Amino acid sequence: MTIFDKFQPLAEARRELEKSASNFFNVVLEEIVSGTEAVVNGRRMILAGSNNYLGLSFDSDCIEAACRAARREGTGTTGSRMANGTFSGHVALEQELAEYFGRRRAIVFSTGYIANLAILSTVVGPGEIILLDADCHASIYDGCRLGGAEIIRFRHNDVADLEKRLGRLEKRKTNVLVVAEGLYSMLGDRAPLADIVALKQNYGAYLMVDEAHSLGVLGDNGRGLAEEAGVEDGVDFVVGTFSKSLGAIGGFCVSNHPELDLVRYASRPYVFTASSSPSIIASTRQALEILRTRPDLRRQLWQNADLLYQHLQGLGLNVGPEVSPIVAARHENKKDAFALWSGLLERGVYVNLVLPPATPDGQSLLRCSVSAAHTREQMAHICKSFTEARV
Ligand SMILES: Cc1ncc(COP(=O)(O)O)c(C=O)c1O
């Protein structure tokens, strides 16, 4: 017996997948042409599965800001936020985030994954309870486990199920943190946030919302679902990432609870990892400025979202429940999903193929996402490719 024996089921699953989609495991973006195009396996492809919602990964001002910061401050901080890794840029970005969200406190983390780990493992712990939407992202689950709080799931977007569970927990007389996302990353559906906020207030719980996919996408000012739903005051902690609409990498949490600052001292994922490099912080600050001041990008994003959603729906594909920049085509069986994914690849369109157990309800998903930077011609090509490759 070896330590690798437990990988056998994985190895078998991979062999099986390779039979139907040999190219599944060797997609490498060999050359990045723009925020929406890359050379994959020697072929130029339209990227229709990234999370580059506003197309800012190739914004010239963001790139310039990153280059200037690297020249001025070096390529990395070589230290954690608690040691020598807090540069003036990190502090400035925290202030800008706090201002943008209208919150008293903000913390910047090295990734969105780490932001969830840091907040969830610290603000609730043993003896307390986390009630999370069953479709929450893996980083939320991992953060919950790390802190040792009791974890209870409620059915995805099911307010009645959440209320039933909150009711049962009342007699336990302990702190409860409810966790939901803004836009869910696989199907692009929104949380019923106004109802969730009403419940958390009724039951005296706390609420954390991960706006990873909704920052820059929802709300008149792009602050996410809480802004769109008009319930920002009811959300205790907003978590998000820089790796999607801000086109970089990193994460954050904002809150009106002044105690958020104490997370810095108590949170292992904050203390024991290196802080983001100066170039990342600089491009993110620039991207946040663009996100704030360019609502036209959001409008373009939604035009593209609407176009793709309606097209796939018209083709009879089983898309998610509402129009969103994340457009998922659900398939009961992996083979059909592979066939469509490969057909798109052959036509120069790259989307994400997501397989169970990473998907809701055990379905196989072609997860597409659109960007404000997709041109009219690119959108037309994506739609045409779906029509042709549809099996
Ligand atoms: C809902 C959600 N939260 C957090 C993360 C993690 O963010 P990052 O990849 O920036 O670490 C993701 C990543 O896809 C996500 O979808």
How would DSSP label each residue in 8-48?
HHHHHHHHHHHHH-GGGGG--EEEEEETTEEEETTEEEEE-
Q: How big is the chain by its Cα radius of gyration, in Å?
A: 21
Q: Give the pLDDT confidence score for residue 162 in this predicted structure.
A: 98
User: For residue 184, how far is its CA from the centre of ligand 1 (angstroms)?
Assistant: 10
Q: What pairs with residue 106 in β-bridges?
A: 254
Q: Give the pLDDT confidence score for residue 16 in this predicted structure.
A: 79
244, 311, 331, 374: the active-site residue: 244
Q: What is the pTM of this model?
A: 0.96
User: For residue 80, how far is its CA from the centre of ligand 1 (angstroms)?
Assistant: 21
User: For residue 138, how far is its CA from the centre of ligand 1 (angstroms)?
Assistant: 8
In angstroms, how far apart are the furthest CA atoms of the chain? 62
Q: Give the pLDDT confidence score for residue 69 in this predicted structure.
A: 98
Cβ of 112 closer than 6 Å to ligand 1, yes or no, is: yes
Nearest partner of 371 among 191, 282, 247, 219, judged by Cα: 247
CB of 297 closer than 8 Å to CB of 372? yes
Q: By alpha-carbon position, which residue is closest to atom 8 of ligand 1?
A: 112
Q: What pairs with residue 369 in β-bridges?
A: 326
pLDDT along the chain (391 residues), means of 10: 93 80 76 96 94 97 98 98 96 98 98 98 97 97 96 98 96 95 96 98 98 98 98 98 98 98 96 98 98 98 98 96 96 90 94 86 92 98 96 67
185, 214, 279, 342: the active-site residue: 185
Q: Give the pLDDT confidence score for residue 202 in this predicted structure.
A: 97
Q: Give the pLDDT confidence score for residue 360 in this predicted structure.
A: 78
User: For residue 315, how far is its CA from the centre of ligand 1 (angstroms)?
Assistant: 30
Whether 279 is a known active-site residue: answer: no
**Which token pair is 48?**
């229709």
Whether 60 is a known active-site residue: answer: no
Residues 365 and 333: their CA atoms lie apart, in Å, by 10
- 334, with CB counted inside 10 A (0-12, 13-18, 19+), is middle
Which atom from ligand 1 is nearest to the alpha carbon of 241? 10
Whether 244 is a known active-site residue: answer: yes
Please give the mean pLDDT across all residues of the chain. Answer: 95
